[in-house]
Structure 1
Amino acid sequence: MFDVLVRAVQSCADAGRSAGTNPFADATSLWIGLHSLADLSPVSPMFPWPEDVLDRLVDRLALLT
């Protein structure tokens, strides 16, 4: 599955939708961030999570433009 994520990030870069230059490193950051969000969300229900936190996380870690 990780290779699918790397290819998706590479596709974004190839299409000019990502400023990233290292798809493996960007996908690794994205993978870590998504897992962290998945782990933290259920155990921190009182935290004021922004409604668009997932979009913000993906946009920033994949360097989407």
Structure 2
Amino acid sequence: MKETFVISWNPFKKKFLFKRIFGMEANKDLLLAFLNVLFRGRKQIEDLHYNKNEHVGVADRYLSM
């Protein structure tokens, strides 16, 4: 009899793994390839820039108060 295994991923693990794989400058080529496959030729991403912060502009809002 064949056993079946069901893997359940919670949203936090998915987000962590996505950031771990695609969120590093060293894996930039993987992210570019992944995004270009998602666009299926409608758009072509040639380069991208990694920010040091996930939320752009949040620090500026608190510093101006």
Q: TM-score band, normalised by the shorter chain?
A: 0.3 to 0.5
Instruction: Please state which structure has a larger fraction of its residues in helix.
Output: 1
Could you say which structure has the larger radius of gyration?
Answer: 2
TM-score relative to the length of structure 2: 0.34
